[in-house]
Amino acid sequence: MFKAPENTSHFPTPVISPVSSMAENCARCGTCKALCSFLSENGTPGQIAAAYLASAQGDDQFRLAFECSLCGLCTAVCPKSLAPSAMFLHLRQAAVSAGTADLKRYHRILGYEKKGCSRTFSFYSLPLGCTTVFFPGCTLAGTRPANTLKTYEYLQHQDSATGIILHCCTKPSYDLGRQAHFESNFFEMTDYLTANGITTVVTACPSCHRIFKDHSSFKVVSVYQLLAQTPIPYLVKDAGKPKVVIQDPCQARFDRPTQNAVRTLATHMGLEVKAVRHSGAHTLCCGEGGSAACLNPDRGNAWAAKRKRSAQSLPAMTYCAGCVNYLGSGEGNFHVLDLVFDAKAALSGNARVARPPVTYLNRLRLKKKLAKRPAAVTRERPAERKKTISGRISGIVLGLLSAIGLI
């Protein structure tokens, strides 16, 4: 997957610094290694960093960087509060910058991201006086378009000037080390929002939440915090007090306000939340994190299996649509918005959850519905000048579907 660079002096200097720091400061105590299958197979972060610095090419360490799920569990348990996942992200950025990373095996996730940033799938709707927008994320809008719309309607019930943005936050590129691509796409969007008076972003996706929190100046709040604080007119409260465990997404590992809000919602709905060892800051990755499973699918499956075992045969409720997809909604797992808007269906395993390619059609249908609503400002992301043959074919197919009324 990785080709050795001819001259390591071309690596950006800022990338070397986190590696040197890790090699120097890691105590090699093994605390993180004991909990992480990736580290248990390859050594402590300090050992990996030292091996990188001692290598003439760093090729093996570049490969290892892409096997880390970037979940942050290592940071949560580190007695010195080090951040190994940040080092691995820097190594990914170095590999991309040096041209040593072959990203072909990530074509599906990058294609998914590209569609989310395209003119076809993107849509901005900003009512008059809008300063707050709802940013549901790609997966929720595709798998649960009805609940996405209901959530937006709930937010508009609280503030009629709330807008909505259908767009990808480009976290896949960020995680893969495509920093320049991430910045050009994400900042194009945030600059537009700032220019149009937006000050607050309400998120439903923990990955989107993390990106906006870390890389923008907006006030960022999860929709679950708002749902837990205010009455919901159509909230069903006859759940029947079943026991569930909560799967905290790794991107919300240190987001206590959102973690608490989701548990408050579960309690309001009459559920009994069973405490498990791997939750909150010590939560386990579902297996999808960092696109690591694209390089090592067996390890991704192992994370998912470990996560399921920790649930003690109870259904898992999460607030990440990606987690539900990876862990399997057919096994009793569900999204908190499934619970909020149709508790009986969620708890019986009958929540309506779409799968690809229907998810893409759902996103287009949702966009079409939103486009019919009055707004002071609407926008689609400007089309890229270069268009591939596959892109033209996709456009033709989508056009035909639209013409016959399927979208």
For 159-244, where are the alpha helices, taking DSSP H only? 171-175, 179-195, 206-215, 223-229
CB 171 within 8 A of CB 137: no
| pLDDT reported for residue 57 | 54
* 85 and 71 Cβ atoms separated by less than 8 Å: yes
Each residue of 272-319: pLDDT tens digit?
999 988 899 999 988 889 999 998 888 878 877 777 777 777 888 999
Helices within 311-350 (DSSP H only): 321-327, 336-341, 343-347
Query: Alpha helix locations (H) across 196-237?
Result: 206-215, 223-229
Q: What percent of the chain has pLDDT over 90?
A: 66
SS3 31: helix
Q: What is the pTM of this model?
A: 0.89
pLDDT at position 373: 97
What pLDDT was estimated at residue 235?
55
Q: What digits encode the pLDDT tens for the residues 265-274?
A: 998 888 899 9
**Mean pLDDT, residues 42-49:** 96
For 304-358, the pLDDT digits (tens) are 777 777 777 788 899 999 999 887 755 688 999 999 998 889 988 889 899 999 9
Say whether 246 sits in a helix, a strand or coil.
Answer: strand
- CA triple 321-323-329, angle to 5 deg: 80
CA–centroid distance for 279 within its chain: 18
Residues 68, 295: Cα–Cα separation, whole Å: 10
Q: Hey, what are 332's tokens? A: 């009793």
Answer for the pair 318, 336: CB distance below 8 angstroms, yes or no: yes
| pLDDT tens by residue, 159-172 | 999 999 999 999 99
Q: What crossing angle do the helices spanning 206-215 and 179-195 adopt, rounded to 10°?
A: 80
